[in-house]
Structure 1
């Protein structure tokens, strides 16, 4: 990895792309620590320090500590990622969007994604500001989080967060177009990595033994995630030779790479977003029902919460894989170009074979995601020290984001380095 980065900085145009990407990432982090107008920074800092565990740590992780601090980029990349996932689902289920996708009109789908991002940002910002205004954003916080709770001040705060989301979306697209790697993935990677230094330093000061144990377990966890993320089933495809005029075309063999974790991080994000709804709805359900919801569906140490968490991840994994990989369409494309899977007849038998292989791979992939997501919850249940629980950094979601985005970005940089130094292979 270091060799790839050193080689990338030796290429002038690639060095400019890397520096451009790093500059935008630094601007993104600046917006995440910049407080929004009308927010009591001292009160927010004290309340965030006391509200720990469960979904609050997950929200802090996925927003880089910005959402609960009500910063300018408080919503981070979550509205855009949610909108992208929704549009990806709609492009399979809605005939008009499916026609646009098949015809190659990706620009229109991207424009619809931007509109949906703004709509989700307005909804999320309004909800967060309303909870902060009512004193329900951070339970147990006695101090008001806003200096001015008038309608004008709240409107300015909501507009600031929505504008920050639009700027984040623009930064992500700039990185994708002019920088290195996928912009939104790198922004999410930055959010996750940003909270690690504070977690690790606090852990070291509180318990050096726990720091060493967590560090060792984190290394093994990262190695396991790398192993599974790189694992794939290669379905061989053979192409027959075709005689066109006096020339022979085609021939050769290739393969279809089916990953064990075909769904990626999407099911975990879906489940986390869905399980955050009981936290928002608990104060409005009354004392008896709301208390039961708060004890069971918002606490990561509750067995019912763990069971629901894993079941939703498995269900979302199967659902997402089924709509993003169409065996019938893949089999038709293989047959159209004169290809076939050895030992399987083209057409419907190939589609059935691909569906069978995909279902066999999805089962361990879904269980892998569920087990990975349970790592921080089980650690919270084992570690009885509240301070240790608050600063457990190696959650399954964070490791999956770091490893996935890191591997993909390094591969893209390596490909660009090889492309620009291709002359050296001819000598």
Structure 2
């Protein structure tokens, strides 16, 4: 509200950046009133302000009354197709705006159609950014058709980053570029569906510079020879169009999109000329990228070997402990048996305080008929599956101890065998290797 009041009374302000705030729809209403009353402002940035539909509608009413605003950024405000329709109505009659940024505003093909109708009439707009909006192929094609159909259009840049394009769009774009050399379309980016260009999705993963390098190797020629064949008049530089014609004439298997991508990389300074030094720089970049990929694969193999070696060492250490201390392993098996016994009979009392490994006799429990329950023989009978698996591992006598036929690790002898194992476990409990 205070900014809007200052804009109404100020007669010197030309540029105002209020991006990254939270004006929302209410703030958009105030800003619309301030812009409508101001007579000097030429550039306004209201990106990332959550203006939504009502805020943009109020802004559009203010822009209609303003005759000085040339540069407007309302990106990342989420006003979708209705807001785009309001701005399209402004563009039909506005003769001052030269730059509008509508990036990431949830504008679909419906809003793009409205903008296309405005572009067919508008004469002054030079840059329109509609990237990162969910516009389909038909919507982007209609935008390009509108620009071509308007003979008095002043468009220089149409930004469609991360917007779906069609084969018909690129073919028409080639025609428009020949008619208007100053006009360009920005497209591409992450998630771009351009598989239709090459007819096979796997081709989109290849590097155009790599294809160019493979052509040189296969034909046993040099880069300088191929480069000079593109333009015999000037051996140091060639235009983008001459380079493109040379690639097509040499029958290098590159699609239209891949050629454009390659030219954009080589023409980094944007002067429209490609020199031999640019091509060599592109080759160096390609070789550097390949070396980095090979080094990454090599480090991944080393890391995998290191992890396997660690696992192997841990397993060997565990087997070493079992070899040196077989009775300790038996004690832990009996502890496992005791834990299973507790889960089967949760109401039973715990083991004696003097046996931490569950080797002592559990307390007996008297049933309703007077018989004693909870003996080791009955407990082992309750868990036959667990002890059969564990007992099968430790049934054979270990080479470091002598076991009689009656002293199996999981023997159901009431007292003698379990007491001997418990005393052995007590002796080895202080061993740091256990």
Which category of TM-score, normalised to the shorter sequence, fits these structures?
under 0.3
Structure of higher CA gyration radius:
2
Higher relative CO (Cα under 8 Å, sequence separation at least 6) belongs to: 1
